[in-house]
Amino acid sequence: MSDDTDVVEFLRELHRQSRMEDMFPFPLIATAVTGDGTAIVVFRADEDAPLVGRMYDYTAFAALFDPRTPADIADAVIVNEIIGPSGPGQIRNYPWERTLTGLEEPVGWLDPPWHPITEIHPVVCD
């Protein structure tokens, strides 16, 4: 399993880059990590778009990159995975969604679940 610090740093880097409007011109709504190192990212394609979510098995995903720093992986995710999401996703109504996002609207998940996620730890950045 990846060091939890790397997963958290990856999510913090996504937050950091989301504030760079020319590079990441859509809102990052929430991020979280699970106990097994799954990174959860909820965002909108633009201000008025529905919520979209992605899940990353950070250890497996990081193994695809060289270098494998959280910042490098965040850059790749933004360019290849998040910009221009591939559709609205599937509504799954996870019990923790509304707590994570603070919103009443559902999240369209672009990734199929590979295991049940029952516990999440939000990663909040100032």
Cα Dmax for the chain? 39
- What is the domain range of residue 108? 4-122
- Nearest residue to 29 via CA among 115, 113, 90, 106: 106
Distance CA 101, CA 11 (A): 15
Q: Give the pLDDT confidence of 22-74 residue by residue, as tens digits.
A: 666 668 899 999 988 899 999 987 788 899 999 988 888 888 888 788 988 88
Domain count, the chain: 1
Q: Give the pLDDT confidence of 79-120 residue by residue, as tens digits.
A: 776 766 667 899 999 999 999 999 999 999 998 777 788 889
